[in-house]
Amino acid sequence: MEELSARIALMYPLSEPAMAQFLSIWKSTTYEKGAHLLKAGQVSNYMYFVGKGAVRIYYQKEEKEITEWLALDYNFFFSIQSFFQRVPSRLAIHTLETSEVFMMHHDDLMQLCEQSHEIEKLFRKMITTSLILSQIRMESIQFENAHQRYQRLLNGSPDILKRVPLSYIASFLGITQETLSRVRNAR
């Protein structure tokens, strides 16, 4: 819980009572490598935080899996549309290594936001951060070349190459594995 508490404090400082209240709705579970936290077609009931580990969010397009997001230690992740609209997710979420994952149920969060303006502000900050990260990712794909995207990824997650298969990294960057090989060799 220390990692989660520290991450929250960086995002939006809560009073001690509000922090205790917010942390009380999170549950911790350790998942083995390859565990599915969400399968396509299920409604996403949880917002997640990976304390230690690596998680991949992906979708199926024709016969291919496309990596939408990679979350390593100390990052939040979830299927945004499904979580908020309460509709089946097109995305799937699975662990890439044994991972300690904290999860907060949608209903608990909504109830807490109704009760606490302070927690509602934190939640708004969390969602704003998520939207900004999504836009940065989309603009990166639209405006940066493969080398720039790869460099941005390494700057943000220097150990990602040791923890995530190259096929998932290439997919996340929106490039082929061959292009990823060329970019890596050019360094």
Which pLDDT tens digit goes with each residue over 88-107? Answer: 999 999 999 999 999 999 99
- Give the CA radius of gyration of the chain: 17
Measured CA to CA in angstroms, residue 53 lies from 41, 43, 75, 81 at distances of: 25, 23, 10, 24
Q: Which domains does the chain have, with CATH numbers?
A: 2-114 (2.60.120.10)
What's this model's pTM, rounded to 2 decimal places?
Answer: 0.92
State the sign of the Cα–Cα–Cα–Cα dihedral 69, 22, 124, 108.
positive
How would you class 64 by CB atoms within 10 Å of its CB: exposed for 0-12, middle for 13-18, buried for 19 or more? exposed
Q: What are the tens digits of pLDDT across the range 1-21?
A: 899 999 999 999 999 999 999
- Rounded mean pLDDT of 64-87? 95
Percent of the chain past pLDDT 90, that is, above it, reads 95
pLDDT at 187 over 80: no
Maximum alpha-carbon separation in the chain: 54
Q: Which residue has the tokens 């997001």?
A: 69
